[in-house]
């Protein structure tokens, strides 16, 4: 039976990290409810200075209010802690800006079950879909993909994708320890160090529905250097022979 069937609907938590996403948070919640009704939702309000938290609560979903802006890493980790403490079987990250299409979640759940994966990453580049981005950004993603592929020994095409579904074990790992700043690339290395199995699945991503990207063109070079250094440092950590996270709720 597919994990996306109604009998499993209490097993899935959609984590929506949000910082000043008032323009899109309600439409994102509506989209999840419409296209992935089997998933529960939690919004992690990362110290927003706009009405993001109030608008999310008006939709009737739980909101975790962080006392200050921790960045995407801290917000996502808070969501994974919530998922583990509440006993969810798996958790999916869905950006509050509306780029991640919840209609893809059923396919991601089925792929996780079929491949016995600990993490499924939605890739914009496994199949040609005309994803719109700057030349510099696409080139940067290709360079990071080549680096992560070389370090893990597995083909990776979209290591910066934030659309990812994690098993209970992977959620426990990330609840205990999750990278900060721009963590998506480093998290793949972290999972590989724990001998977790990850796969990519082609997905279609939409245009941002509101707000602005946290990575401006002027920061692109700094971001690349920082991520490459973080990935190389993460790779030096000893591989674990088995899952051992030590997370306590």
**CATH value at residue 145:** 3.90.550.10
As given in the structure block, the two tokens for residue 229 are: 């250094």
pLDDT at 248 over 70: no
Q: Determine the 3-state secondary structure of 164 from DSSP.
A: strand
Q: Tell whether 197 is covered by a domain.
A: yes
Q: What is the pLDDT of residue 50?
A: 98
Give the pLDDT band of residue 3 (cuts 50, 70, 90).
Answer: very low
pLDDT at 98 over 80: yes
Measure the CA dihedral 105/106/109/114, to 10°: -140
Q: What is the pLDDT of residue 133?
A: 60
Range of the domain at 109: 12-236
Q: Tell whether 1 is covered by a domain.
A: no
Does residue 19 contact residue 75 with C-beta atoms inside 8 Å?
yes
Q: Tell whether 3 is covered by a domain.
A: no
Q: What is the pLDDT of residue 6?
A: 35
Q: Tell whether 246 is covered by a domain.
A: no
Does residue 18 contact residue 27 with C-beta atoms inside 8 Å?
no
**DSSP H or E run through 92:** strand 90-93
Number of domains the chain contains: 1
Q: Tell whether 161 is covered by a domain.
A: yes
> 165 exposed, middle or buried (CB, 10 Å; 0-12, 13-18, 19+)?
buried
- Per-residue pLDDT, averaged over 33-55, amounts to 98
pLDDT at 108 over 90: yes
Spatial distance between the Cα atoms of 136 and 131, rounded to a whole number of angstroms: 14
Q: Tell whether 6 is covered by a domain.
A: no
Measure the CA dihedral 169/170/171/175, to 10°: 100
pTM above 0.95, yes or no: no
- Per-residue pLDDT, averaged over 155-170, amounts to 96
- Per-residue pLDDT, averaged over 38-50, amounts to 97
> 91 exposed, middle or buried (CB, 10 Å; 0-12, 13-18, 19+)?
buried
Spatial distance between the Cα atoms of 120 and 171, rounded to a whole number of angstroms: 12
Q: Tell whether 223 is covered by a domain.
A: yes
Q: Tell whether 4 is covered by a domain.
A: no
Spatial distance between the Cα atoms of 127 and 203, rounded to a whole number of angstroms: 8
């Amino acid at each position: 039976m597919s994990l996306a069937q109604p009998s499993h609907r209490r097993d899935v938590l959609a984590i929506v990290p949000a910082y000043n996403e008032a323009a899109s948070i309600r439409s994102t919640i509506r989209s999840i409810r419409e296209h992935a009704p089997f998933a529960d939702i939690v919004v992690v309000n990362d110290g927003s200075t706009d009405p993001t938290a109030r608008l999310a609560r008006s939709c009737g979903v739980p909101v975790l209010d962080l006392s200050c802006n921790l960045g995407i890493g801290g917000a996502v980790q808070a969501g994974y802690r919530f998922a583990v403490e509440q006993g969810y079987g798996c958790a999916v990250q869905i950006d509050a800006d509306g780029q991640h299409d919840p209609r893809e979640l059923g396919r991601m759940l089925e792929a996780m079950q079929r491949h016995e994966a600990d993490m499924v990453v939605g890739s914009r580049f496994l199949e040609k879909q005309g994803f719109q981005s700057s030349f510099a950004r696409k080139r940067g993603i290709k360079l990071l993909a080549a680096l992560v592929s070389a370090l893990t020994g597995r083909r990776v095409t979209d290591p910066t994708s934030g659309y990812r579904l994690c098993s209970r074990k992977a959620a426990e790992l990330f609840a205990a320890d999750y990278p900060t700043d721009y963590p998506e690339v480093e998290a793949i290395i972290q999972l590989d160090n724990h001998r977790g199995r990850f796969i990519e699945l082609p997905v279609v991503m939409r245009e941002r529905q509101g707000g602005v990207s946290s990575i401006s063109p002027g920061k692109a070079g700094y971001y690349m250097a920082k991520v490459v250094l973080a990935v190389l440092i993460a790779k030096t950590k000893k591989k674990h022979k088995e899952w051992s996270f030590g997370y306590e709720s």
